[in-house]
Amino acid sequence: MDGTLLPTFSRAISPRNAQALKAAQEAGITVAIATGRRTAYTAPLLEGLGLRADMPLITSNGAVTRTLGGEAVDRSHLQAQVARKLCGLLRPFGTLVFTFDRTGRGELLLEDMEQAHGRIALWVEANRSAIEVVKPLEKGLADGEDPIQGMVCGGVEAMKQAEKALVSSEWAAACACVRTEYPARDLSILDLMPPGVSKGWALERLAKRLGVDRKETMAIGDNWNDVDMLEWAGQPVLMGNAAQDLRTRAKLRGWKQARPNDADGVGIILEEAAARHASLQPRPAKKLWTARTGD
């Protein structure tokens, strides 16, 4: 969503991107959204666009898959005992948040609202009704209360150090991590996932359920948390607004590059894909009509 389907600092999908999503579905293409956002923060952005209720939503960086209509498809959890240990390890680096697969207040747990508001103010305001403050955070992570993911956010350099600390810790095997960076804002997010879980992992599982071959799968992304998905898909597309090091990787990998998110890059790619798909569909046989005259 962010940096790919949504324009920068926007909470609404552009008209061209919205139309392209619908047109792709109408052409017979299964369109799935894969995002670091949780389901409750994603689905409202897609409402009112005329999209199918069975449209898959891969949310929380792959931990949860549901349809736009709310049907559960797949879900993974991060063990609460692991989450508690991560609090002590990563608290010095930035703001910690844990996400639970439930609705209403308590879906998001954090322990310092002021610290979070200073770094991710827009996120705090958009999610205020779901946030519960717990001090210390470990109190909200009792055994049996397993979150679906955690998040630590801060400056770009601080999150690189946080990732190094996690990778070198005894908890590295019990937690996967993926980094998202916005260098222009000096903001980075380190998502803490159940082992092996990523957007790419979730996309592969979804494709198998749908009977879609890897070669027939296109993935479009803009950030480091999209890399697994782009590596797995047979048709990877990197957004033009991605960081330079990612664009360099795309060039070396032979990935297609789209126009930036502020120039409807997704819409243009989907329009092309829908046109190609339509051209490959078998055309109905032509009927030969004859006229008979009387003797």
Q: How far apart are CA 44 and CA 224, in angstroms?
A: 25
| pLDDT tens readout for residues 60-116 | 999 999 999 999 999 999 999 999 999 999 999 999 999 998 888 999 999 887 777
Q: How far apart are CA 293 and CA 283, in angstroms?
A: 31
> Looking at the structure, do residues 51 and 111 belong to the same domain, yes or no?
no
For the chain, give the percent of residues with pLDDT over 90: 78
> Looking at the structure, do residues 102 and 186 belong to the same domain, yes or no?
yes
Total tally of structural domains belonging to the chain: 2
Q: Which two tokens stand for residue 239?
A: 């957004």
> Looking at the structure, do residues 152 and 110 belong to the same domain, yes or no?
yes
Q: What CATH number is given to the structural domain containing 223? A: 3.40.50.1000
pTM of the model: 0.86
Query: What totals of helices (H) and strands (E) does the chain contain, helices first?
Result: 10, 13
Domain boundary pick from 193, 218, 235:
193
Task: Give the CA dihedral 7, 11, 185, 92, nearest 10 degrees.
Answer: -140
Q: Is pLDDT above 60 for 179?
A: yes
Per-residue pLDDT band for 294 (boundaries 50, 70, 90) equals very low
Q: Is pLDDT above 80 for 283?
A: no
What's the whole-number mean pLDDT along residues 14-35? 96
Domain boundary pick from 193, 218, 236:
193
Q: Is pLDDT above 90 for 264?
A: yes
> Looking at the structure, do residues 127 and 182 belong to the same domain, yes or no?
yes
> Looking at the structure, do residues 204 and 259 belong to the same domain, yes or no?
yes
pLDDT at residue 288, rounded to an integer: 44
For the chain, give the percent of residues with pLDDT over 70: 94
Q: How far apart are CA 161 and CA 182, in angstroms?
A: 16
Per-residue pLDDT band for 274 (boundaries 50, 70, 90) equals very high
Is 59 within the bounds of a domain?
yes
pLDDT at residue 284, rounded to an integer: 54
pLDDT at residue 267, rounded to an integer: 97
- b/e sequence 137-175, b meaning 16+ C-beta within 10 Å: bbebbeeeebbbbbbbbbeeebbbebbeebeeeebeebb
pLDDT at residue 116, rounded to an integer: 72
- b/e sequence 22-59, b meaning 16+ C-beta within 10 Å: bbbbebebbbbbbbbbbbbbbbebbeeeebeeebbbbb
Give the count of beta carbons closer than 10 Å to the beta carbon of residue 83. 26
Mean pLDDT of the chain: 91
**Which of 5-9, 114-118, 171-175, 187-191 comes out lowest in average pLDDT?**
114-118
> Looking at the structure, do residues 270 and 183 belong to the same domain, yes or no?
no
Q: How far apart are CA 65 and CA 32, in angstroms?
A: 10
What's the whole-number mean pLDDT along residues 49-70? 96
What's the whole-number mean pLDDT along residues 210-233? 96
pLDDT at residue 200, rounded to an integer: 96
231 burial level (CB within 10 Å; 0-12, 13-18, 19+): middle
Q: Is pLDDT above 50 for 293?
A: no
Q: Which two tokens stand for residue 66?
A: 């549901």
State the residue range of the domain holding 224. 15-75+198-279
